[in-house]
Amino acid sequence: MNRLDGISGELGPYVDRHEAEAIDRVADRLITERGTLSPRRRIALRKHLASLAASGSITPDAATVADAPAVPEVGGPRRLGLAVAGTVVPGLLLLAVAAVGLAGAGPLAF
């Protein structure tokens, strides 16, 4: 891969030739060593998606995807509502303190 064909070609004049070659080597390695699902894992995924489609959890179109990429399972917070409330409530309290300060009273009065 020459400099214009590789990933480093997008970096233009910002990198020198040695850095560009190193970037291209890393890009080539990432492309060639990209992970794929084993046949056993694809079969297990297909069965799992089919069972979800049968239960109505997902649409049947999603269950026909045989070669889904390997994606690590990521779960959301256990108590999402509590996490949202824990962020929103203090924010609203800070806004209220600022509003009181702008009104001429409270700890932030002008």
The model's pTM is 0.31
Tell me what pLDDT residue 85 has: 93
Q: What is the mean pLDDT of residues 2-31?
A: 78
pLDDT digits (tens, 9 = 90+) for 9-18: 777 778 888 8
Tell me what pLDDT residue 2 has: 45
Between 96 and 50, the more confident residue is 96
Write the secondary structure of the chain as one string of H (helix), E (strand) and C (coil). Answer: CCCCCCHHHHHHHHCCHHHHHHHHHHHHHHHHCCCCCCHHHHHHHHHHHHHHHHHCCCCHHHHCCCCCCCCCCCCCCCCHHHHHHHHHHHHHHHHHHHHHHHCCCCCCCC
